[in-house]
Amino acid sequence: MSDTLNRYYLQAMGIDLWVLRKPNPSGGQDLSALAQEVAACNRCALHKTRTQTVFFRGSPQAKLMIIGEAPGFYEDQQGQPFVGKAGSLLNQMLQSIEMVEEDVYIANVLKCRPPNNRDPQADEIAQCSSYLARQIELVQPHLILALGRFAGQFLLNKPLPLKQLRNTLHHYHNIPFIVSYHPAYLLRNPADKKKAYFDLVTAKKLLIENSC
């Protein structure tokens, strides 16, 4: 008997149907509801100068989550992270380890562009941090790749320089993460691209080894 017919007979007999639901760790809020909340955010002054908020690109089912710093000019215009020059480099870097946009979930520490692409300020990070924390909770990635010190410091909750953040397997709420160079830094310092490539190879190995 088909499922539909079976349901029809049970309903006709007045028997309540129970549906097994996947538990939602964030207490019911899903990613699209969170994106809407972010789009209306005015917690810090950046909402006054943004064109729009920037939430994510890629796949919410991805095993690898990539976290950058904050939207730049093109991200603010298009509403997606890493779509400018740094984004092109990030795409090429992913291709070098045979990954495409659908294999990753990309987000930023800040959801709004800081004016003139200045560094995020501590109060802006503090106001915005619960959004990224909830994105991680909802996506449940198997591995996180933090790009640059702001993403690394957010996950580790320690103000360490990038040098001390790299080359170590850290954990954020039991989710393993590694820290690498930010693509914008690599555009200015191409000599470090080789080291960034090895970080990516490490990420890929971790995903495979842990059958992530």
Question: Judged by CB, which is closer to ligand URA: 29, or 79?
Answer: 79
> What whole-number distance in Å separates Cα of residue 67 and Cα of residue 164?
18
Residue 114 near ligand URA by CB under 6 A: no
Kindly indicate which of the ranges 5-13, 38-46, 79-87, 194-202 contains the residues binding ligand URA, using the contact rule CB under 6 A. 79-87
Largest Cα–Cα separation, the chain: 72
- Residue 108 near ligand URA by CB under 6 A: yes
For position 186 contacting ligand URA by CB under 6 A, the verdict is no
Q: Which residue has the closest beta carbon to ligand URA?
A: 68
- Cα–Cα dist 104/212, whole Å: 12
Distance CA 117, CA 183 (A): 14
Indicate which single residue of 89, 184, 206, 207 sits in contact with ligand URA (rule: CB under 6 A): 184
The number of C-alpha atoms within 13 Å of 6 and in the hemisphere containing its C-beta is: 4
- Binding of residue 127 to ligand URA (CB under 6 A): no
C-beta of 210: minimal distance to ligand URA in Å? 26
Q: Which is nearer to ligand URA, 75 or 199 (CB)?
A: 75
- Segment lying near ligand URA (by CB under 6 A), choices 29-37, 58-66, 68-76, 193-201: 68-76
Is 58 a binder of ligand URA (CB under 6 A)?
no
Which residue's CB is nearer to ligand URA, number 26 or number 80?
80
* Sites of contact with ligand URA (CB under 6 A): 68-72, 75, 81-82, 86, 108, 184
